[in-house]
Amino acid sequence: MSKVRQLTPRKPAVALDTPADFSDKAIAAISKALNGVLADTFALYLKTKNFHWHMSGPHFRDYHLLLDEHAAQIYATTDDIAERVRKIGGTTLRSIGDIKRHQSIKDNDEPYVAPHDMLRELMNDNRAVIENMRAAHEIADEHDDVATTSMLENFIDGAERRNWFLFETTRHERA
């Protein structure tokens, strides 16, 4: 007989119980979707910085600066996403381990990645983040969470722009 029991979900600590006019079901669904987006955003940020730090080759300067710009844009969204979860009454990510449990973007720990492959991998990861943000947008829309849908629309636009830049950068040349 196992002494281990399944933990049951409970309301956050009273000190974290933010007043919100969403149902518990809406808070849980939107928070889960946004925490997934947030975890992927942190994973994409770190991968973008990893590739920025380890860029080499004849287009070093251009790619290095492009990835630094992209990383800054990605990181700039994290606080808004996490704070949105808190504003609606949910709780958000707390650690690197928590990010790992929620992320769908795969890490890249390879000792060397060719510049073209870095950019293509980031393009595909941005595309995945776009898909996750659209899915979170649908969930927020189902629960009439206009502020979350509006925020996500702006972040989707930024991710689509990054995806476009990465596509055009790798379209005709193999670095």
Q: What is the pLDDT of residues 63-84, one digit of tens each?
A: 999 999 999 999 999 999 999 9
pLDDT of the residue at 175: 46
Residue 83, C-beta contacts closer than 8 angstroms, at least 6 positions apart: none
Q: What is the pLDDT of residues 152-164, one digit of tens each?
A: 999 999 999 999 9
Eight-class DSSP state of 144: T
* pTM of structure: 0.88
pLDDT of the residue at 172: 74
The listed CATH number (1.10.3720.10, 3.40.50.1820, 3.40.50.720, 1.20.1260.10) that belongs to domain 21-170: 1.20.1260.10
Q: What is the mean pLDDT of residues 12-22?
A: 67
pLDDT of the residue at 2: 59
Domain-wise residue ranges, the chain: 21-170
Q: Could you write out the DSSP letters of every residue in 12-72?
A: PPGGG----SS-HHHHHHHHHHHHHHHHHHHHHHHHHHHHHHT--STTHHHHHHHHHHHHH
Residue with the bigger pLDDT between 10 and 43: it is 43
